[in-house]
Protein backbone atom coordinates (compact mmCIF):
# COMPACT_ATOMS: atom_id res chain seq x y z
CA UNK A 1 0.00 0.00 0.00
CA UNK A 2 1.17 3.54 -0.75
CA UNK A 3 -0.21 6.74 0.79
CA UNK A 4 0.05 10.05 -1.01
CA UNK A 5 0.37 13.11 1.22
CA UNK A 6 -0.35 16.48 -0.36
CA UNK A 7 0.60 19.77 1.26
CA UNK A 8 -1.12 22.72 -0.39
CA UNK A 9 -0.40 26.41 -0.08
CA UNK A 10 -3.80 27.95 -0.77
CA UNK A 11 -5.24 31.41 -1.11
CA UNK A 12 -6.72 32.02 2.37
CA UNK A 13 -9.42 34.21 0.83
CA UNK A 14 -10.65 31.30 -1.30
CA UNK A 15 -10.90 28.52 1.29
CA UNK A 16 -14.55 27.69 0.45
CA UNK A 17 -13.58 27.15 -3.22
CA UNK A 18 -10.65 24.93 -2.22
CA UNK A 19 -12.86 22.95 0.17
CA UNK A 20 -15.36 22.34 -2.65
CA UNK A 21 -12.46 21.18 -4.86
CA UNK A 22 -11.30 18.80 -2.13
CA UNK A 23 -14.73 17.26 -1.75
CA UNK A 24 -14.77 16.57 -5.49
CA UNK A 25 -11.42 14.77 -5.33
CA UNK A 26 -12.42 12.57 -2.40
CA UNK A 27 -15.04 10.89 -4.57
CA UNK A 28 -12.81 10.89 -7.67
CA UNK A 29 -9.90 9.15 -5.93
CA UNK A 30 -12.29 6.49 -4.70
CA UNK A 31 -13.81 6.18 -8.19
CA UNK A 32 -10.38 5.02 -9.38
CA UNK A 33 -9.85 2.49 -6.58
CA UNK A 34 -8.13 4.62 -3.94
CA UNK A 35 -9.09 5.25 -0.33
CA UNK A 36 -9.24 8.94 0.54
CA UNK A 37 -8.43 9.89 4.13
CA UNK A 38 -9.73 13.43 3.78
CA UNK A 39 -8.71 17.02 3.29
CA UNK A 40 -7.55 18.99 6.29
CA UNK A 41 -8.33 22.69 6.11
CA UNK A 42 -6.59 25.51 7.99
CA UNK A 43 -8.08 26.13 11.39
CA UNK A 44 -5.90 27.68 14.07
CA UNK A 45 -2.41 28.88 13.20
CA UNK A 46 -1.34 28.98 9.57
CA UNK A 47 -4.19 30.21 7.39
CA UNK A 48 -2.89 29.14 3.98
CA UNK A 49 -1.82 25.49 4.35
CA UNK A 50 -4.14 22.54 3.72
CA UNK A 51 -3.38 18.83 3.63
CA UNK A 52 -4.81 15.75 1.95
CA UNK A 53 -4.00 12.05 2.18
CA UNK A 54 -5.16 9.08 0.17
CA UNK A 55 -3.96 5.52 -0.39
CA UNK A 56 -3.78 3.04 -3.24
CA UNK A 57 -2.95 -0.66 -3.02
CA UNK A 58 0.37 -0.04 -4.82
CA UNK A 59 2.39 2.68 -6.50
CA UNK A 60 1.43 1.13 -9.86
CA UNK A 61 -2.27 1.53 -8.96
CA UNK A 62 -1.60 5.18 -8.05
CA UNK A 63 0.19 5.76 -11.37
CA UNK A 64 -2.75 4.17 -13.21
CA UNK A 65 -5.14 6.53 -11.37
CA UNK A 66 -2.99 9.54 -12.35
CA UNK A 67 -2.88 8.47 -16.00
CA UNK A 68 -6.61 7.78 -16.18
CA UNK A 69 -7.50 11.03 -14.36
CA UNK A 70 -6.08 13.08 -17.23
CA UNK A 71 -8.67 11.55 -19.58
CA UNK A 72 -11.63 11.54 -17.19
CA UNK A 73 -14.20 14.35 -17.76
CA UNK A 74 -15.00 14.71 -14.02
CA UNK A 75 -11.31 15.00 -13.14
CA UNK A 76 -10.76 17.49 -15.94
CA UNK A 77 -13.66 19.59 -14.60
CA UNK A 78 -12.04 19.59 -11.14
CA UNK A 79 -8.66 20.59 -12.59
CA UNK A 80 -10.41 23.39 -14.53
CA UNK A 81 -11.87 24.85 -11.31
CA UNK A 82 -8.42 25.58 -9.96
CA UNK A 83 -7.15 26.76 -13.33
CA UNK A 84 -10.01 29.27 -13.46
CA UNK A 85 -10.02 30.43 -9.81
CA UNK A 86 -6.38 29.80 -8.82
CA UNK A 87 -7.08 28.93 -5.19
CA UNK A 88 -4.05 26.58 -5.09
CA UNK A 89 -0.81 28.58 -5.03
CA UNK A 90 1.47 25.54 -4.87
CA UNK A 91 1.57 21.97 -3.64
CA UNK A 92 4.02 19.25 -2.64
CA UNK A 93 3.38 15.55 -3.10
CA UNK A 94 5.09 12.90 -0.94
CA UNK A 95 4.57 9.15 -0.64
CA UNK A 96 4.55 7.01 2.48
CA UNK A 97 4.10 3.38 3.41
CA UNK A 98 1.53 3.16 6.19
CA UNK A 99 1.99 0.93 9.22
CA UNK A 100 -1.08 -0.39 11.00
CA UNK A 101 -1.44 -2.46 14.15
CA UNK A 102 -2.63 -5.44 12.06
CA UNK A 103 0.22 -5.01 9.52
CA UNK A 104 -2.18 -3.92 6.78
CA UNK A 105 0.04 -2.09 4.30
CA UNK A 106 3.29 -2.96 6.10
CA UNK A 107 6.00 -4.89 4.33
CA UNK A 108 6.78 -8.20 5.89
CA UNK A 109 10.34 -8.91 7.00
CA UNK A 110 12.10 -11.52 4.83
Helix/strand/coil for 93:
strand
pLDDT at residue 90, as a whole number: 97
> Is residue 18 a contact partner of residue 50, using CB atoms and an 8 Å limit?
yes
pLDDT at residue 50, as a whole number: 97
pLDDT at residue 102, as a whole number: 74
pLDDT at residue 101, as a whole number: 81
**Separation of alpha carbons 90 and 101, rounded Å:** 34
Q: What percent of the chain is predicted at pLDDT more than 70?
A: 93
Segments of the chain scoring below 50 in pLDDT: 109-110
CA-based nearest residue to 55, from 109, 98, 106: 98
Amino acid sequence: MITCHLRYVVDPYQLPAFEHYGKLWIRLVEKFGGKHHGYFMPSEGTSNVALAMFSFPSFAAYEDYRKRSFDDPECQAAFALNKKHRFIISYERSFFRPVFEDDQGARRAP
